[in-house]
Homo-oligomer: A and B are copies of this chain.
Amino acid sequence: MTGFAHPDFSAPRFAGVPDARFVPAPADGVLPENFFSTTNLPTYVRIDGRWRMPQEPRMDAALVLDAQRELWVREGRRLRKGDLVAVGHREDGTEGIYVYADAFMGDSAEGEFKFMTSEVSREKPIDYALMARLLVEERERGGYPVWVAGPALVHSRARNDMAWFIANGFVGAMLAGNAVAVHDIEASIFNTTLGMASSGEATTGGHGLHMRAINKVRAAGSIARAVEQGIIRDGIMHACVTHDVPFVLTGSIRDDGPLPDVITDNLVAQDAMRRHAIKATMAILIATALHAIATGNMLPAFVTNADGSLRELATICVDSSEFVVSKLKDRGTHQAFGVVTNAQDFMHILRLYVERELDARGRGAERSRAVAAAR
Contact = CB atoms under 8 A, between A and B. Distances in A.
Interface in A90-135: 91, 99, 101-127, 134
A31 interface: yes
Contacts of A5: 309-310
B344 A346 contact: no
A206 B124 contact: no
A225 interface: no
Contacts of A365: none
Contacts of A297: 58-60, 254, 256
Interface residues of A, number: 144
B340 A342 contact: yes
A273 to B, nearest CB: 7
A313 B40 CA distance: 11
Interface in A1-45: 1-6, 26-27, 29-31, 35-37, 39-42
Nearest to A341: B342
Given A103-B310, A108-B108, A112-B204, 12 more contacts: A4-B309, A39-B332, A77-B218, A114-B206, A118-B329, A122-B323, A125-B198, A253-B266, A320-B321, A320-B341, A342-B345, A345-B345
Nearest to A158: B125
A189 interface: no
A206 to B, nearest CB: 7
A205 interface: yes
A80 interface: no
A99 B207 CA distance: 13
27 contacts: A1-B134, A26-B219, A27-B219, A31-B215, A37-B211, A37-B212, A40-B300, A41-B301, A56-B278, A57-B300, A58-B274, A58-B298, A76-B257, A102-B111, A116-B200, A118-B327, A118-B329, A124-B155, A125-B344, A207-B332, A252-B266, A254-B293, A256-B297, A322-B326, A341-B344, A341-B345, A349-B349
